[in-house]
Amino acid sequence: MQSHISIVGTFGGGATDTIMHPVVLVALIAAIALVLWLPRKHVVVAFLLALFLLPAGQELYVFGVHLYVPRILIMIGLARLARENVGSRIPILPGGWNDLDKLFTCWAVLHVVVSTLYYWGNAAAFISKIAFLWDTLGGYYFLRFLIRDTEDIRRIAKTFAIIVAILGVALVYERVQNRNLFAYFGSLPPIPGKRWGTIRAQGPFAHPILAGSFAATVLPFLVWLWDSRRTKIMAALGVAGCTAMVIGSSSSTPLLSYLAVIAGICFWPLRGRMSAVRWVFVILLIACSLAMKAPVWFIIARVHLLGGNSGWHRAELIDMFFRHFSEWWLLGTDKQATWARYGNLDDLCEQWIVEGETGGLVTLVCFILLIKRLFSRIGKARIRTSQDLKQEWLLWLIGVALFSHCLGYFGISYFDQTRFSWYALLCIISVATIPKKDKARVLKHAQNRANIESLTPVASMARVTG
């Protein structure tokens, strides 16, 4: 049974009722307690499990404020961050506030500023953007606080393995039984959607493509776990779960991202010649552009991995995006539905297009610069650690995960809990690419923090019982 409480007003968009199943509420309370009182290194496990295993649409609607599950967890997480750093000399962020943090913050703020100017005088739109900052900057900086070293990255990889193993079973059940298990909690459709007669499972996610994309983009971290004898079984279960989720989603975008991961891993022997590989790719694109009658992005329309593929729709969206540059470059637009020559282009199913149409050219450029800087940091760090094969392999797989996200952005925009896997990847890159000269200082700070945590009664009890 669900609780329904009607209250006037909104903050952050959504229904005007509380939608919180008792089981979800109990799990949320448990997650809140763990986030508040577990030792810092274990908090990320509880945080991610709650984010990805509880339906994001579950919410408490209190005095006009939509408190979705991720939003509640972020609020509690920031309270934990503030409590631990009052009067502390240990940096909140490992490695300090770096260039990635600045670009990410700039991207989020620009998105809000440009959108606010476009919808000037619309209170509901402004409140929605404040909620966007709450979710985006709050979630990102809490994860930045939690992820501090390679052990934290390994802990996250193990957590992702558990999540996709559970969700893989759930999506297989959904495909076989034509029933979404997570719909019993409310806020999700009980009967999954179909395309050309094929069931598209989504689990706790807002869309099947998001479910499959999440699985595909965490696959590199599960491959990394395979290197350790102690985590081989976990890695195998995780890879099986990822595969089941990608197949269960019955969507081309996750499948392409999954294949991109496999291709990226196969390119490992060519890691020293990636400059040449990139130039070959550019030359191939130019050749295709010269040979094709349509613009080169219509290659997307020719990719048919599954029945009912909507690649043409995505290519058309890109085409209209460029043709109507004058309409969105300054402050974005909400008139894209009028651009279509055929069908409807109101469905913003590409992250790259979303950035321009909701934030203008300046936000899109900032997003591209962030992606460029991410790849640059990984490349430079990999060169620095070329004598350490294990560290280089980790950096390579992180780069593969980033590439998989970027490819997936041509088929979907993140609008549910999937975006937190993106934020987690950014935080992982920040930590994994810290220069050696700074790593000793970061490790010293981490040890000091661990010593402080060991003095707290709750941490001591957790260590004894755990």
The three-state secondary structure class of 17 is strand
Burial class for 179, CB neighbours closer than 10 Å (0-12, 13-18, 19+): middle
Q: Which residue has the tokens 């040890």?
A: 447
pLDDT digits (tens, 9 = 90+) for 293-302: 888 888 887 7
**Residue at 308 is within a domain:** no
Structure token pair of residue 15: 């229904």
* Cβ atoms of 128 and 205 closer than 8 Å: no
Q: Quote the strand ranges of 143-272, DSSP E.
A: 193-195, 198-200
**Residue at 84 is within a domain:** yes
Burial class for 267, CB neighbours closer than 10 Å (0-12, 13-18, 19+): middle
Number of residues that make up the chain? 466
What domain range is 200 assigned to? 22-283+332-465
Please state, in angstroms and rounded to a whole number, the distance separating the CA atoms of residues 326 and 167.
43
pLDDT reported for residue 87? 64
Is the alpha carbon torsion for 109, 112, 113, 115 positive or negative?
Answer: positive
**Residue at 458 is within a domain:** yes
C-alpha distance from residue 392 to each of 57, 157, 224, 418, 441 (Å): 39, 17, 11, 27, 21
Neighbour tally for 176: CB within 10 Å = 11
* Cβ atoms of 160 and 221 closer than 8 Å: yes
Those residues whose C-beta lies under 8 Å from the C-beta of residue 458, and which sit 6 or more positions away, are 37
**Residue at 1 is within a domain:** no
Domain count for the chain:
1
pLDDT reported for residue 6? 30
**Residue at 292 is within a domain:** no
What is the biggest distance separating any 2 CA atoms in the chain, rounded to whole angstroms?
70
Full-model pTM: 0.89
Phi and psi at residue 364, to the nearest 5°:
-60, -45
* Closest of 326, 329, 294 to residue 311, by C-alpha: 294
Please state, in angstroms and rounded to a whole number, the distance separating the CA atoms of residues 295 and 285.
11
Ordered per-residue pLDDT tens for the chain, 466 residues: 333 333 233 445 555 577 888 999 999 999 999 999 999 999 999 999 999 999 878 888 887 778 889 999 999 999 999 888 776 677 888 988 999 999 999 999 999 999 999 999 888 888 888 999 999 999 999 999 999 999 999 999 999 999 999 999 999 999 999 999 999 887 788 999 888 888 999 999 999 999 999 999 999 999 999 988 899 999 999 999 999 999 999 998 999 999 999 999 999 999 989 989 999 999 998 998 888 888 888 888 777 677 656 677 788 888 889 998 999 999 999 888 788 766 566 666 789 999 999 999 999 999 999 999 999 999 999 999 988 999 999 999 999 999 999 999 998 999 999 999 999 999 999 999 998 765 555 555 555 555 545 544 444 434 433 3
C-alpha distance from residue 192 to each of 2, 17, 249, 306, 338 (Å): 21, 23, 10, 17, 30
**Residue at 73 is within a domain:** yes
* Cβ atoms of 175 and 191 closer than 8 Å: no
* Cβ atoms of 159 and 48 closer than 8 Å: yes
Please state, in angstroms and rounded to a whole number, the distance separating the CA atoms of residues 84 and 77.
11
**Residue at 297 is within a domain:** no
Element (H, E) at 66: strand 65-68
Burial class for 462, CB neighbours closer than 10 Å (0-12, 13-18, 19+): middle
Helical H runs in 250-333? Answer: 252-266, 274-291, 311-323, 325-328
**Residue at 75 is within a domain:** yes
